[in-house]
């Protein structure tokens, strides 16, 4: 195996080990030694690839967020957009499918978010950046929906997108804590949105 390939394989193994351990125990309670042991790699290799524990954390956050965006936004690339509830339903289904395929990433999302709010404030800027990016994408989509005549012209775009994102976070949390059926919760949310944000019944273009 070439040196570059071996380096990439080692880095990938360390990322997967860190994702698993951060999700199981949190960032602060996980040592670099534990990550190396889970990956089956010498402890001293981690600084070479990531510089520090916080560097490893940043790599984990970027990797998880990158996978999430790639999978969950795929429906907007793979189907004609309707700028209404059809788009949103497709994204919600993609989110559930992503969660089912990558439960460790969902777990680490929630665990690190709790730490960002509490014991690990150094995490907060990374989550704030993720939220800002997600909010910006949602606002751009909603404004296009208004332009297309699918969404109400008087829609409070920024507030509505914040509310939807907050609901998604809540559903994800309730699913992990109590096994709440995400698909049922999303169907209920779409019904509420249908009454409040569409320009006309069914969200057809004018």
Q: 166: exposed, middle or buried (C-beta count within 10 Å: 0-12, 13-18, 19+)?
A: exposed
Please name the residues in contact with 132: beta carbons below 8 A apart, sequence gap of 6 or more.
none
CB 114 within 8 A of CB 79: no
Integer CA distances (angstroms), 19 to 26, 146, 150, 159, in order: 10, 39, 40, 32
Beta bridge partners of 198: 151
Please name the residues in contact with 206: beta carbons below 8 A apart, sequence gap of 6 or more.
149, 199, 200
The residue extents of the domains of the chain are: 57-203
CA trace torsion 71, 99, 131, 185 (10° rounding): 120
pTM of the model: 0.84
CATH homologous superfamily of 57-203 equals Tetracycline Repressor, domain 2 (1.10.357.10)
Please state the φ and ψ torsions of residue 74, each to the nearest 5 degrees.
Answer: -55, -40
pLDDT tens, N- to C-terminus, the chain (206 residues): 577 788 889 999 999 999 999 999 999 999 999 999 999 998 788 888 999 998 999 899 899 989 998 888 888 787 788 888 999 999 999 999 999 999 999 999 999 999 999 888 888 888 898 899 999 999 999 999 999 999 999 999 999 999 999 999 999 999 999 999 999 999 999 999 999 999 976 544 54
């Amino acid at each position: 195996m070439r040196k570059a390939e071996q380096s990439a394989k080692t880095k990938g193994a360390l990322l997967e080990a860190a994702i698993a351990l951060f999700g199981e125990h949190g960032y602060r309670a996980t040592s670099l030694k534990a990550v190396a042991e889970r990956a089956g790699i010498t402890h001293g290799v981690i600084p070479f690839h990531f510089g520090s524990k916080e560097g490893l954390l940043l790599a984990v956050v970027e990797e998880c967020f990158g996978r999430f965006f790639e999978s969950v936004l795929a429906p907007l690339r793979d189907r004609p957009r309707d700028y209404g509830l059809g788009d949103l339903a497709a994204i919600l289904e993609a989110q559930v499918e992503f969660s089912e395929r990558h439960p460790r990433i969902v777990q680490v999302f929630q665990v690190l978010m709790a730490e960002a709010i509490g014991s690990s404030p150094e995490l907060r800027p990374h989550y704030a950046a993720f939220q800002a990016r997600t909010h910006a994408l949602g606002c751009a989509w909603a404004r296009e929906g208004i332009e297309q005549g699918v969404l109400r012209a008087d829609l409070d775009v920024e507030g509505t997108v914040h509310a939807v994102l907050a609901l998604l976070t809540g559903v994800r949390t309730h699913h992990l804590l109590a096994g709440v059926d995400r698909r049922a919760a999303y169907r209920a949310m779409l019904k509420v949105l249908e009454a409040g944000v569409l320009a006309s019944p069914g969200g057809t273009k004018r």
